[in-house]
Amino acid sequence: MSDQPLTEVIAPAPGERLRALREQRGDDPEELYAIVSGEAFTQMPTDLYIPPDALEVFLETFEGPLDLLLYLIRRQNLDILDIKVAEITRQYMQYIELMTALQWELAAEYLVMAALLAEIKSRMLLPRPSFDLEDEDDPRAQLIRRLQEYERFKSAAEQLDTVPRLERDLFRAYAERPELTRQQVEPEVDLKEVLIALSRVLHRAEMYTRHAVKLEPLSVRERMSDVLARVNDAPEEFVPFVSLFNVREGRLGVIVTFLALMELIRERLIDLVQNGAFAPIYLRAAAN
């Protein structure tokens, strides 16, 4: 999460430049409206429906044509529904000529609004009967509705700006954390994961080698490890053959141990040693 884009996009607040200009000039902030080519406007022109190219500050001050119209209505008591069509058309044409690529997008929205105002006016000039006031499509009704809806959220935004918030009105309280005693957490493994890993690795091995990897019964493999560990851990070099068999394991246990021994011998991991016929048999780790 980075705040960088937010600060870039969100600040400085619009009107900031205007505010700064006002402070700089020491003008009464309420009086000064805009500064165009160094000339102070203390009053908003009442007949301006499209911000002229020169009024850069203007674009920063208003959020768009709805905002501008609201201003004209609320502050200038302007009847936006009764404007001079000729005048707005002239401004419209002039503006298209002056329009720079830079402000095209924003300007477009003002132009649409100017066109709408001109349309309203022209429809009002038509004979009354054809102008149905109850009509859903009445552009005046639509415009008023949009203006009212916009005004509602404009005030909602102003209210939101007064809600106490972090960084300005409230600050989180923190204390330095103590030196943490970190416990090592061991990974958790599901047996299924091990099996999936096995099947995958064997599958892969089959793809790369001629024959399938052979797996002996697991009881034998396990016993091989056990026997090998005993032989390796034994204090003496030789481990008696008989000591590997445990009666309690029964016949099956004996067979498993025997198979394990055979496999260990075949893999040359242990040697069997017998000094003479019928002498005790011993095991030892395979010598090279």
Partner 1 sequence: MLELQRIKQIVEAALLCADEPLTVDLLERLFAEGECDKPTLKSIIESIEEDCAGRGIELKRVASGYRFQVRQELAPWMSRMWEDRPPRYSRAVLETLALIAYKQPVTRGDIEQVRGVAVNSNMVRALLERDWIRVVGYREVPGRPAMYGTTKTFLDYFNLKSLDELPTLPEIRALIEPIEAELAGAGPEYVEGPRVEFPTDTVVVAEEFLETDVEPRAERER
**Of residues 104, 131, 153, 245, which one binds partner 1 by CB under 8 A?**
153
**Of residues 93, 96, 205, 272, which one binds partner 1 by CB under 8 A?**
205
73 makes contact with partner 1 (CB under 8 A) = yes
In whole angstroms, give the CA distance from residue 55 to residue 107. 12
Structural tokens at position 189: 């493994």
Binding track over 105-144 against partner 1, x by CB under 8 A: xx--x---x-------------------xx---x-xxx-x
183 makes contact with partner 1 (CB under 8 A) = yes
Minimum Å gap between C-beta 252 and partner 1 is 10
What is the rounded (10 degree) CA torsion for 81, 86, 91, 93? 120
28 makes contact with partner 1 (CB under 8 A) = no
Q: Is the dihedral of CA 176, 178, 179, 185 positive or negative?
A: negative
Structural tokens at position 21: 């200009």
In whole angstroms, give the CA distance from residue 1 to residue 175. 23
**Of residues 46, 122, 155, 274, which one binds partner 1 by CB under 8 A?**
155
DSSP state of 82: S
Q: Which is nearer to partner 1, 88 or 147 (CB)?
A: 147
Residue 261: φ, ψ to 5°: -65, -45
Minimum Å gap between C-beta 211 and partner 1 is 12
- Using the contact rule CB under 8 A, the part of the chain among 20-28, 44-52, 91-99, 157-165 near partner 1 is 157-165
Which residues are paired to 41 by β-bridges? 34
98 makes contact with partner 1 (CB under 8 A) = no
- Using the contact rule CB under 8 A, the part of the chain among 24-32, 34-42, 83-91, 227-235 near partner 1 is 227-235
Minimum Å gap between C-beta 35 and partner 1 is 20
In whole angstroms, give the CA distance from residue 51 to residue 68. 9
Minimum Å gap between C-beta 260 and partner 1 is 10
Contact 80, 72 (CB under 8 A): yes
Q: Which is nearer to partner 1, 153 or 245 (CB)?
A: 153
278 makes contact with partner 1 (CB under 8 A) = no
Q: Cα 248 vs. chain centroid, distance in angstroms? A: 63
**Of residues 47, 152, 246, 272, which one binds partner 1 by CB under 8 A?**
152
Secondary structure class of 39 (helix, strand, coil): strand
Q: Which is nearer to partner 1, 222 or 237 (CB)?
A: 222
53 makes contact with partner 1 (CB under 8 A) = no
Contact 107, 50 (CB under 8 A): yes
Cis bond upstream, residue 12 (ω within 30): yes
**Of residues 54, 86, 194, 262, which one binds partner 1 by CB under 8 A?**
194
102 makes contact with partner 1 (CB under 8 A) = no
- Using the contact rule CB under 8 A, the part of the chain among 28-36, 50-58, 92-100, 197-205 near partner 1 is 197-205
- Residues near 19 by beta carbon (within 8 Å), at least 6 away in sequence: 29
Contact 111, 65 (CB under 8 A): no
**Of residues 32, 35, 114, 224, which one binds partner 1 by CB under 8 A?**
224
